[in-house]
Every structure is written in C-alpha cells, then in structure tokens.
C-alpha cells in the first residue's frame, strides 16, 4: 500500500509551530515539493520519494515533462532542485523538469541502505561495520532495487504526474554511479540519459567492467546517452588492500577504461562521453559535475536573455546606466 504524505508536509510548512515543542525553532520545508511513501513489496521495505515540480507545471496543464531521478536524496535532492531553480532562466539555460529524489529505506541509515541497494553483488568490503545493532552489513541487492524502480516507482509517479516516460534521466554519484552503470548494462532503456558521477567501478574486483564485456557479446546496441564524470584526485591509495589489491581505488583509470570500452563497441544508438575535473576529489567534484550533467541532459532553448537597456530594435536606450550598454550619442557629440 502507498501512503501519500503531501498533506502532512504542506501542513508542517504552513503551520510549523503546531509541530514544535514550546520554544523550539521550526524546521525548513522546501517549497513546492511533495513526499510519498512507497513499498517495495518484493524487498519487504518502504522508501520515501521526494518530488519537486518545475515552475511552469501549474501553468502548462497539457505539457509533459522530462523527469530526473537522483539517488542519495537527502544530500542530492535539495541541491539539484536549487540548481534547477537558479539556472533555468526562464528555460533559456535549462529546460524545466520534474525532480525525483530516491530516499533511503525506512529504518535504515543512508550508509546501510546504499551499501545494500546500490551494489550489484554481495562481495562488498569485508571489513565494513554495520551501523544497525545486531544486523550484519548487507550488499548486493541492486537488481532487486532496480526492479522496484521499474515496476513500482515508475508506474506510481507516471500515474500522478505529467511525466514523459521517454525522457527519464538518471543521476547518481559513487555507489549511485555504480548502480546507474548496473542499470545501463542490464536494461538501458529504463532511462534515456545517464549522469554517472565518480562511479565506484572498483567494486567487487571491477565486476561491472567485466559485465560490460558480457553485455557486448550478447547485444548489438545500447540505446542511451551517457555522461561519465569524475574528480582528477580520485585515484588514491587503497586504505584496505584486502582482498582486492591497491588497484581497487584507481577510479579515474577505471572510468576511462569503461568509457573507452563502450566507445569501441560501435553501438549505433549509444552516445557516451566523459570529463575529468582537475583538482577535485570524490566529494568536492559533485556540485560542479551535477550542474554540468543537468545542463547536458536538460539543455535550454538558448535564447538570448532580455537586455533592458536595449529597445525593440536593439538600439541603446537613453539614460541607461548598465556599464556594458553602448553609449547613446546625444546631439552635439
């Protein structure tokens, strides 16, 4: 059963004092967002979905929108929504889209949830400690989580919002990038575009690099547009040399190898590119990389911005004080 928490969120936003103890400071609720709870029946747990509707949604009732899904929603959703609001410039710089944040499983920490849901095999870090008392660390349920998205999340959202299912976009970082690569090599049609940031391709002895070879043997095409990005400082000494060896953390080289292998296959419908951000590490690369990914995936119309110092004929208006405006010649000049 799916429970919608929109009304509760709206109430908290409108009347924060009702939800607070006397003297407590109210929390901040992001405007124009909605929260849903959806059960993953086969997995036996539930997840929150965070939804942000674009500024033009209410005024364009016939329009269907691209949708951008982002993993690690507590961190990524507010940033991505803010970037969309700041950069869209009336859709000249970025097309409007519905933003969906994929939250962590109820009752789990982010670390526990993402280790389990974003990794494609159970062969994770043997030294990892669980942050759930009495519950061991778990890895390897990426395929179950992928099916949850395809069979439960997509239909739920597309029945409630004006989403164009041909324009789904995926964005994930680190294990989220690993999970996106798993989706790409399992059922690429799930998303039209993939923004894969700092993907943890070292995982399980570079399992997905090996799976790419298997995909190429079984398939003649890979219909997707993919943008891989990473920080230039992400090849680091491995802090845990067992059982995989020091090459495990050669993330820049691993990503480059994946991209070159994909490019070498000659898939007719695949468009893949990569970028390295010099001087950025695994954490610091995210803001610049996700912005670039969003502008790549959701390009605006490119129309020139309005210039109030110019008239309809492009001539400078008198008394305009904008420093870049051409000088208006007065009589006698």
Mean pLDDT for the stretch of residues 211-222: 97
The confidence band for 309, taking pLDDT boundaries of 50, 70 and 90, is low
Mean pLDDT for the stretch of residues 239-243: 45
How large a percentage of the chain has pLDDT more than 70? 81
CA separation (Å) from 82 to 88, 272, 319? Answer: 10, 27, 35
Question: What does the DSSP 8-state code read for residue 94?
Answer: B
Please enumerate in sequence order all residues whose Cβ is within 8 A of that of 34, keeping only pairs 6 or more positions apart, or say none. Answer: 4, 5, 6, 9, 50, 51, 53
Query: Residue 228's pLDDT is what?
Result: 98
Query: Residue 308's pLDDT is what?
Result: 61
Mean pLDDT for the stretch of residues 170-184: 98
Task: State pLDDT tens for residues 254-279.
Answer: 999 999 999 999 999 999 999 999 99
Largest CA distance in the chain: 88
Burial of 293 (0-12, 13-18, 19+ CB in 10 A): buried
Burial of 32 (0-12, 13-18, 19+ CB in 10 A): middle
Name the one residue in this structure whose structure tokens are 């974003």: 118
Domain architecture of the chain: domains with CATH: 32-297 (3.40.50.1820), 309-333 (no CATH)
Task: State pLDDT tens for residues 29-46.
Answer: 888 899 999 999 999 999
Contact, 9 vs 36, CB < 8 A? no
Query: Residue 239's pLDDT is what?
Result: 53
Task: State pLDDT tens for residues 272-298.
Answer: 999 999 999 999 999 999 999 999 999
Task: With 0.85 as the threshold, say if the pTM is over it.
Answer: no
CA-CA distance, 170 to 190, in Å (whole number)?
9
- The H or E element spanning position 47 is strand 45-52
Query: Residue 125's pLDDT is what?
Result: 84
Contact, 177 vs 195, CB < 8 A? no
The confidence band for 313, taking pLDDT boundaries of 50, 70 and 90, is confident
Query: Residue 328's pLDDT is what?
Result: 46
């Amino acid at each position: 059963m799916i429970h919608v928490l929109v009304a509760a969120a709206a109430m908290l936003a409108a009347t924060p004092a009702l939800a607070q103890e006397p003297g407590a400071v109210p929390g901040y609720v992001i405007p124009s967002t909605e929260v849903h709870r959806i059960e993953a029946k086969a997995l036996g747990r539930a997840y929150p979905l965070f939804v942000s509707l674009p500024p033009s949604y209410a005024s364009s009732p016939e329009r269907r929108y691209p949708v951008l899904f982002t993993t690690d929603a507590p961190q990524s959703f507010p940033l991505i929504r803010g970037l969309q609001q700041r950069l869209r410039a009336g859709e000249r710089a970025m097309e409007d889209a519905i933003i969906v944040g994929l939250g962590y499983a109820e009752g789990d920490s982010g670390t526990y949830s993402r280790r389990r849901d974003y990794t494609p095999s159970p062969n994770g870090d043997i030294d990892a400690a669980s942050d759930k008392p009495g519950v061991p660390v778990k890895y390897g349920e990426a395929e179950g989580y992928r099916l949850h998205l395809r069979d439960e999340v997509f239909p739920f959202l597309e029945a409630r919002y004006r989403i164009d299912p041909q324009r789904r976009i995926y964005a994930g970082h680190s294990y989220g990038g690993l999970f996106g690569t798993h989706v790409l090599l399992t059922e690429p049609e799930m998303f039209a575009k993939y923004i894969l940031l700092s993907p943890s391709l070292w995982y399980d002895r570079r399992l997905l690099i090996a799976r790419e070879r298997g995909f190429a043997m079984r398939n003649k095409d890979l219909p997707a547009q993919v943008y891989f990005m990473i920080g230039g400082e992400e090849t680091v000494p491995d802090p845990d040399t067992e059982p995989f060896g020091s090459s495990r953390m050669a993330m820049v080289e691993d990503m480059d190898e994946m991209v070159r292998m994909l490019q070498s296959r000659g898939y007719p419908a695949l468009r893949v590119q990569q970028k390295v951000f010099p001087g950025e590490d695994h954490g610091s690369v995210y803001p610049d990389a996700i912005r670039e990914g969003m502008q790549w995936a959701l390009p605006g119309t490119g129309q020139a911005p309005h210039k109030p110092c110019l008239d309809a004929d492009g001539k400078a208006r008198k008394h305009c004080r904008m420093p870049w405006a051409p000088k208006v010649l007065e009589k006698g000049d």
